[in-house]
Amino acid sequence: MAYPEMMVKPMRDEVTQLGVTELRTVAAVDQALSDQHGTALVFVNSVCGCAAGGARPALAKALTAATKKPEHIYTVFAGQDLDATSRARSYFGEYQPSSPSAALLKDGEVVRFIHRHEIEGRSPDQIASELLKAFETYCA
């Protein structure tokens, strides 16, 4: 069940104000991720507490601190933009749906997936550290 947009907008804004491109339609997802070259991070946003307390602040910290970043950074909103999220997940191969989560893709393949179970109960600094490790490993 989707939440009222007025409630969700601040959660969207918290991510897009970082310069992250929000993908809200299937067409937008396909345009971004089909025939994808280089590196792209897809942040799967969520209304849940571990997105508010962990994942979104961690994304902000990681993008601020990173010396290497994905060439493209996208977000979809699970539970809100259902079709777009489902389509984004179709690019994640055998990785199971999870929200919040973050998928780092390189040339169309997931090279690091941070699942919800790696986010919940952890501090933003701990989660950001995992993102930064992935950026250092796979991004130019």
Partner 1 sequence: MSGHVFHPGHDDLHGITVVVTGASGRSYLGRWHEQGNRGVVMKNVAIHDPASAELPLDGWLAKQAKFGIASTEKMYIVPPEEFTEVRLFAG
Which residues are the active-site residues?
48, 50
Interatomic CA distance for residues 30 and 25, integer angstroms: 9
Q: Does 98 bind partner 1 (CB under 8 A)?
A: yes
Interatomic CA distance for residues 122 and 34, integer angstroms: 32
Interatomic CA distance for residues 86 and 20, integer angstroms: 19
Q: Does 3 bind partner 1 (CB under 8 A)?
A: no
Q: Map residues 46-85 to x or -, x wherever contact with partner 1 holds by CB under 8 A.
A: --xxx-xx--------------------------------
| Binding residues among 113-132 for partner 1 as defined by CB under 8 A | 113, 115-118, 120-123
| Binding residues among 13-52 for partner 1 as defined by CB under 8 A | 48-50, 52
Q: What are phi and psi of 107, to 5 degrees?
A: 50, 40
- Give the residues lining the site for partner 1 (CB under 8 A): 48-50, 52-53, 94-98, 101, 113, 115-118, 120-123
